[in-house]
């Protein structure tokens, strides 16, 4: 019993196993319909195809207007089928690889089926740590920027304080000079009062 259970646990799940499960439960058909619907709604692909038909040799050959629709269709398909299918295939792969639309849904569905078949718990891959590292770098940048701003503010404050101190010193010096001038003024007046008046001329 133990050996059989261990063999079951060691059994590898192949891509074919996952695909078979997706085909059996109808997931493949549902995704195919979604892709076809989006291809029909692809205006760029539609306009490109119309332009290719209008510029085709079949329609621009003299006497094309005399051919039946069936004959024109067969001739157009023979001329444009390969190039049109290449552009359509490119659009399909863009849808499959889209991380926000059908591609995301397809990845999640395959992962869910694989986990169910293998007995594992989703998600198979842990979230990427790059966003966290990026956030850490942004935080460090913000902190360093904040420190630089604080340093600039401190220097500005110290400069303003120094200017205020110098202004205070200048004002005190001016007040002292003014007070000394005011104190010297009475003494000059007193000295001038001691000068004898000029004698009257006879």
Question: Using one digit for the tens of pLDDT, what is the confidence trace for 68-96?
Answer: 999 999 999 999 999 999 999 999 999 99
d(CA 25, CA 47): 36
Model-level pTM greater than 0.85?
no
Sign (positive or negative) of CA dihedral 136, 141, 145, 148: positive
d(CA 149, CA 18): 57
pLDDT digits (tens, 9 = 90+) for 18-51: 999 999 999 999 999 999 999 999 999 999 999 9
- Residue 59 tokens, joined: 């329609």
Q: Which of 15, 91, 21, 7 is nearest to 49 (CA)?
A: 91
113: how many CB neighbours lie within 10 A of its CB? 19
For residues 18 and 117, the answer to whether their CB atoms sit within 8 Å is yes
For residues 28 and 22, the answer to whether their CB atoms sit within 8 Å is yes
Helix (H) or strand (E) holding 162: helix 130-194
Give Cα separations from 123 to 47, 93, 120, 140 (angstroms).
Answer: 41, 24, 9, 31
Lowest-pLDDT range of 8-17, 28-37, 92-101, 142-151? 142-151
Tokens 């192949």 belong to which residue?
A: 14
Helices (H), 59-129: 69-96, 102-118
């Amino acid at each position: 019993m133990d050996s059989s259970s261990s063999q079951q646990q060691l059994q590898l799940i192949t891509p074919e196993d996952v695909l078979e499960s997706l085909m059996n439960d109808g997931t493949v058909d549902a995704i195919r319909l979604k892709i076809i619907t989006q291809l029909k709604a692809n205006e760029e692909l539609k306009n490109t195809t119309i332009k290719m038909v209008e510029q085709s040799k079949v329609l621009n050959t003299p006497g094309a207007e005399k051919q039946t629709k069936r004959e024109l269709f067969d001739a157009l398909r023979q001329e444009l089928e390969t190039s049109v299918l290449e552009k359509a295939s490119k659009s399909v792969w863009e849808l499959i690889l889209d991380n926000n639309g059908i591609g995301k849904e397809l990845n999640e569905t395959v992962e869910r089926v694989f986990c169910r078949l293998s007995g594992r718990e989703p998600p198979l891959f842990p979230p990427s740590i790059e966003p966290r590292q990026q956030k850490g770098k942004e935080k460090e940048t913000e902190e360093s920027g904040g420190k630089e701003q604080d340093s600039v503010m401190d220097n500005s404050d110290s400069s303003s304080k120094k200017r205020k101190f110098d202004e205070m010193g200048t004002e005190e010096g001016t007040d002292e000079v003014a007070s000394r001038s005011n104190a010297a003024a009475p003494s000059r007046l007193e000295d001038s009062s001691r000068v004898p008046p000029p004698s009257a001329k006879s």
